[in-house]
Amino acid sequence: MKLLLENWRKFIVESNKRIGVLNSNHSGEVYTHGLYSSNMETATAGVEGQEVEIISGWQDQGVEWKLINVDGIEGWIESDAIDMSEKNQNAYSFDFDNTLIRYQTLEDGDVVYLGPHEENLQILKDLAAEGNKVIIVTSRFKLKGPKKPWDDAPTPEELVADLNLPVEVIEYTDGELKTSKLLGLPYNIIKHWDDDQDEINALADTGIQGVKVEVPGEETERLRAKWVHNLSQELQEGGMEIPEGMRIYLKNHPYMEPDGLQEAAEPKKGTGKKPKGSGRRLYTDEDPSDTVSVKFRTIQDVKDTFSKTSFKSKSHKRQSQIINLVHQRVRSAYQNAKDPKTKARLKKVLDYAEKRKATSKEKTKRLQKKKD
């Protein structure tokens, strides 16, 4: 048993080594004392093409150094004299949404960008400073074309550029679990940070340590639902087929933007399903005194609805729910319309409803800031 444990420890040490290959920039010498030592002795060690162990790294005044072990000699060389051997290179992986950037849920239930996740970004920077490779693996779909109008968060590429993050690789899984992507990369992934418990569970028995990022509230599920819902709508509007994985998700996670769950059809009185986290049913008159009759055939119908005393007397949160309800119904009617004239009329109504929704959302943000 003792021998078995010793061999296991040796295996762990060996497998965690980072390997590099000396290139043509290597002078044939290494500095054998500390970089700030007055003794700048060197030793002849290593030749081009030789594999060496990378012990640690250091960066100072724009110059990056690597401490290596070559032919049993430990010494410092400039990083441009060594190429990383990706096959044996340790790497640490980070999810993006709710891991490197944060979101918050507004009073109306919508999820909006809050800012960088400073704690996790510092972990990422510290790992890179120690000479480790850090990568981003996100379940997002890689952006093709301009950003979506409903997406107020930076893309992974934008965040890396804006904050000058030491990230060389960004991988997209297009909605799939990250496990197969992580195992298929040419690196030895040591840890992966993620806010999704399903992703952490999937890493079991893979040799990759999952680090669960705790997220307050329901931002993780709400954000995923928002993305899948909106992307599926765009695909449908563009006449493209919705991927099978997305269809399954929509079936299992019905969503009504932004607050709660979307019913396939408006339920009968008193039978509506309560949105998760909500105290009432948006589609029913379980509280007749709190209902507002809505019309949306024309722009004037919508204006009249929002001018009613019964609407104006509601709280902002309730008004937001009603505005979202009108927007959703108009959009559904527009998408299902076959007659060109009807579709053109509903498009104008939809444009107006979207403006009212955007105005309501801005007010929600202002109120949220005052509360904070």
Q: What is the pLDDT of residues 16-56, one digit of tens each?
A: 456 788 888 888 888 887 666 666 788 898 898 888 887 76
Looking at residue 257, its pLDDT comes to 38
Q: How far apart are CA 270 and CA 89, in angstroms?
A: 60
The answer to pTM > 0.85 is no
3's tokens: 């021998």
Looking at residue 5, its pLDDT comes to 38
CA distances to 36, 56, 304, 310, 322 from 297, rounded to whole Å, are 76, 68, 11, 20, 16
Neighbours of 351 (CB within 10 A): 12
Burial class (CB in 10 A: 0-12, 13-18, 19+), 3: exposed
Domains of the chain, earliest start first: 14-84 (2.30.30.40), 90-216 (3.40.50.1000), 293-372 (no CATH)
- Alpha carbon dihedral 34, 39, 45, 46, in 10-degree steps, equals 50
What are the residues whose beta carbons fall under 8 Å from the beta carbon of 247, sequence distance 6 or more? 232
Cis (ω within 30 of 0) for the bond into 258? yes
Q: How far apart are CA 298 and CA 144, in angstroms?
A: 34
Looking at residue 265, its pLDDT comes to 34
Looking at residue 253, its pLDDT comes to 58
Looking at residue 291, its pLDDT comes to 61
Looking at residue 244, its pLDDT comes to 72
14's tokens: 């060996």
Listed as ranges, residues in the chain with pLDDT below 70 are: 1-18, 34-39, 56-57, 59-62, 84-88, 107-110, 218-220, 237, 245, 249-293, 372
3-state SS track over the chain: CHHHHHHHHHHHHHHCCEEEEECCCCCCEEECCCCCCCCCCEEECCCCCCEEEEEEEEEECCEEEEEEEECCEEEEEEHHHEEECHHHCEEEEECCECCCEEEEECCCCCEEEEEECHHHHHHHHHHHHCCCEEEEEECCCCCCCCCCCCCCCCCHHHHHHHHCCCCCEEEECCCCCCHHHHHHCCCEEEEEEECCHHHHHHCCCCCCEEEECCCCCCHHHHHHHHHHHHHHHHHHHCCCCCCHHHHHHHHHCCCCCCCCCCCCCCCCCCCCCCCCCCCCCCCCCCCHHHCCCCCCCCHHHHHHHHHCHHHHCCCHHHHHHHHHHHHHHHHHHHHHCCCHHHHHHHHHHHHHHHHHHHHHHHHHHHHHHHHC
260 phi and psi, to 5 degrees?
105, -160
Looking at residue 251, its pLDDT comes to 67
16 phi and psi, to 5 degrees?
-90, 0
Could you tell me the sign of the dihedral formed by the alpha carbons of 153, 155, 156, 160, in that order? negative
Looking at residue 199, its pLDDT comes to 93
Entry field: residues in the chain: 372
- Pair 365, 112: CB distance under 8 Å: yes
